Amino acid sequence: MSSSTEAVKQMASFAEFYPYYLGEHSNTTCRRLHFLGSSLGLACLALLVYTGQWYWLPLGLLCGYACAWIGHFVFEKNKPASFSRPLYSFMGDWVMYKDIWTGKIPF
């Protein structure tokens, strides 16, 4: 296990983790792919609620993670934070999504 992975695991709060998370998403294309994946995931969730068809749930997860991982491995050239801090990473994705919508983070 690398020392950076260990440092991430030692972070005691989401407030401490989020600046690191943003640093791992400095590439604009990576952020855009995260935004796309999250939007598709929300659309699939809405379709699940509307239709009652449960296949929308795994499809939404697939859309979200596929977009994010392409962003990391192809454009950002790093390993997703979800590998070391899955809950904080999930929270970070939605905070970043909100921050993009509100203009706090450039799209």
What is the model's pLDDT at position 81? 83
Task: Give the dihedral of Cα atoms 73, 76, 79, 80; nearest 10 deg.
Answer: -100
22-31, 38-47, 77-86: which has the minimum mean pLDDT? Answer: 77-86
21, pLDDT greater than 60 = yes
- pLDDT (mean) for 37-52: 98
What is the model's pLDDT at position 5? 77
pLDDT tens, residue by residue, 24-43 = 999 999 999 999 999 999 99
What is the model's pLDDT at position 83? 85
* Domain locations in the chain as residue ranges: 26-101
Other beta carbons within 10 Å of 12: 7
Confidence of residue 2 (pLDDT cuts 50, 70, 90): low
pTM: 0.90
Can you state the angle between helices 56-70 and 28-51, rounded to 10 degrees? 180
Q: If 0-12 CB within 10 Å is exposed, 13-18 middle and 19+ buried, where does residue 3 land?
A: exposed
